[in-house]
A and B are shown apart, each in its own frame.
Chain A
């Protein structure tokens, strides 16, 4: 069995945290992964430039959904500026998925893409900001 299908990940997949919608969200954003069709929608409520509340919903593989669940826990209560500096490496480390292959890394980073695109309009994938790498 691959090491990333651990109980920690499966638990977030089966019992996703912060799943749902925020009708009075300040920021509402959705992105897809065209490669496999994964979809994640995020609603964010801001207070004093901090993420007061975050809800997400979507569908996709274990990695993409668990990643959204874990990311929502990581950023809740954080300032927008802190989230701007949240790197893909930090998220992957939190997921315990530092060794994902290029195709699956998109699954893990879709949630971060949605979050950053919604918050400050990032248009590229978090792993493609340096296009020559």
Chain B
């Protein structure tokens, strides 16, 4: 009889052990004690980040999105939740990134000469030889390259000075990210700033001086609204075979046509920009981007989105000439608002808001409602 009792006790211990195991598995992995690192000033830290040489590494990036973007049925968007990205780089321009999604995967491989994008769900490969896309970028924003000083030390001073005008930059101790010791660089808006953001935390690797985690925290909550950070990081040379890609047999390989922007394209873009009249209102953290979107562009956007959704949903019918109720779509997302400036719809997320007036004026910023309303009143 005694033996039976021993067995029952052992079995009970087994049940408890199993249940504890479940609890341990469900718990997020602890970060461990904060490492002891030599003190560093915020300026020196930023400077070393800007000076850092790209290193070879492979790892997983966890993205935790809690932006609170309103959900609208059937329209694809940045959904809240966690996702993981796996990436490898040899530090010399070759890159591989894999984005697992459910039971499919997208793989991006840049072998130094050609960039490949593989989509397992569609069995397609997009081939982008280098040089077909880069040339177009500088033309859109001329002068930006020249404006940047070549000297990283000067650049970092400028960056820190610019940031310090509106925020407090501090090094808030150390932590561990992906099991590597990091410095926590914290940007806090000055109390006079009218923003919904509380602080931005950047975890900088103590050795590589590479940002390993960026978290945006908002007023009122402890959990970050967005956090992007490495959950696993292996520094060192990576397997060279990771940076080559051979399109699998049976996959459709497409090469997007690369064409120089024609004079018509440029004229159209200029016209659109002039019409939109984008302007920046406010400065620092309360910067609000405002513009005037032509009504037909808004309709076009909504149609494009719906058309894309049709395509995803395998409804082959063409959606041309459909009437799209843009305002109705917007009202599903946000709340109606009106005032001396007019009336419109306010869409709020945890990191800011968008105010879209019925006449096409738009104001976007990481600011509370009142600042957006003030800004949209200034749009001509």
- State yes or no: do A and B come from one complex: no
Q: Which chain A residues have a beta carbon within 8 Å of chain B's beta carbons?
A: none
Q: Which chain B residues have a beta carbon within 8 Å of chain A's beta carbons?
A: none
